[in-house]
Amino acid sequence: MNNAVTARAHTNIALIKYWGKADPKLIIPQNSSLSLTLDPFYTDTTVQFDAALTQDQIKIDGQVLNQTAGQRVRDFLDLVRQRAGITAFAQVNSYNHVPTAAGLASSASGFAALAAAASKAAGLTLDQPALSRLARRGSGSATRSIYGGFVEWQKGHNDLDSQAVPFQETIDFDIQMIAILLDPRPKKVASRAGMAQVVATSPYYTAWPPSAEKDLIAMKAAILKKDLNLIGQLAEANAMKMHATTLSATPPFTYFEPETLAAIEIVQSLRNNGVSCYYTMDAGPNVKVICSAKETPAILTRLRQHFPADHLLVAKPGPGIAYL
């Protein structure tokens, strides 16, 4: 039980978004979602339970976590301790190879890696579905980061059936993303608070879950057909439907910034010139471009006319959870 365990989890970007909880405590979502796990964005987390510790010691990128973020990790460790029947505190060291809190879903890779490392360090032996359900308790998007490739989070009804399933772990057609980093600051409205505000106040929210479920069925068919244009069209429309719910909340808010619109316009103009590229956005201003590897050089050339080259990150489909 005293062994240090290190796990690596890659982040993921949803093509069909998770937006809104049916059960905030258990993190059961209102709708199923579908994502692409990405390389090279990942988190490495080492956990060691140690009876000599008097409290949990949690560091991310070498820094002790602030009270709020630290509490979320401690609550998660409590859940693992309870399941394993242990009481020892833990030392947690996590390194993000993801720009933290910049809309690149570091909580997805973070809690997936923590679930894998902490459960094993506590002596639990969990299969991948159980690991996915455990990661879900830390952060919804982490549910999907247990698997590589295209991953579906089936919303389920309760703690035992709300989990991810791999939809296509090995992808045999040309698809990748370019993340455009527009604003490195942590987002103004955290996704957890943002989606709660939307569920509670937006009159448009009731339209979201059934619409997202329809989009998910269409997306799975588009992936099976390897139809990049259809995948892109569906992802773009689904993302914008999600963002429409923030403008209609009380008080209204938006994750868009002026440069978000500039990025969207460039994607649209490339498309008008025959380049297959589409945009998606999460709970932050950054834009992710869905495209092929083949057309990426041309897209990067155009994007570099407006954005600094080091703000453009190319990501390929990535693998599922691994122990190091």
Residue with tokens 């932050």: 284
Instruction: Convert 61-91 to b/e letters by CB count within 10 Å (16 or more is b).
Output: eeeebeeeebebbbebbebbbebbebebbbb
- In terms of CB distance, is 139 or 168 closer to ligand 2P0? 139
Minimum distance, C-beta of residue 36 to ligand 2P0, in the bound complex (Å): 11
Task: Output 17 or 311, the one with its CB closest to ligand 2P0.
Answer: 17
* Nearer of residues 222 and 235 to ligand 2P0, judged by Cβ: 235
Residue 280's DSSP bridge partners are 288
Residue 101 or residue 270: which is nearer to ligand 2P0 going by CB?
A: 101
Round to whole Å and give the CA distance between 92 and 64.
Answer: 10
For 173, the enclosing helix (H) or strand (E) is none
Radius of gyration of the chain (CA): 19
Instruction: Between 27 and 216, name the residue whose CB sits nearer to ligand 2P0.
Output: 27
Residues contributing to the site for ligand 2P0 (CB under 6 A): 14, 17-19, 27, 33, 105, 107, 139-141, 191-192, 282-283
Among residues 104 and 270, whose Cβ is nearest to ligand 2P0? Answer: 104
247 or 324, CB closer to ligand 2P0?
247
**CA distance readout (Å), 186 to 42, 97, 106:** 18, 16, 11
Residue 114 beta carbon to ligand 2P0: minimum distance, rounded to whole angstroms: 12
Shortest distance in whole angstroms from residue 255 CB to ligand 2P0: 9
State whether residue 322 is helix, strand or coil: strand
State the minimum distance, in angstroms, from the CB of residue 23 to ligand 2P0: 11
Shortest CB 324 distance to ligand 2P0, Å:
24
Shortest separation between residue 26's beta carbon and ligand 2P0, angstroms: 11
Q: Which region, left, alpha or beta, applies to residue 275 given φ > 0 means left and ψ of -120 to 50 means alpha?
A: beta
Residue number with the smallest Cβ distance to ligand 2P0: 140
CA proximity to 187, closest of 43, 76, 315, 284: 284
Report the nearest approach of ligand 2P0 to the CB of residue 196 (Å).
8
CA distance 87 to 171: 42
Q: Judge residue 258's burial from the number of C-beta atoms within 10 Å of its C-beta, 0-12 exposed, 13-18 middle, 19 or more buried.
A: exposed
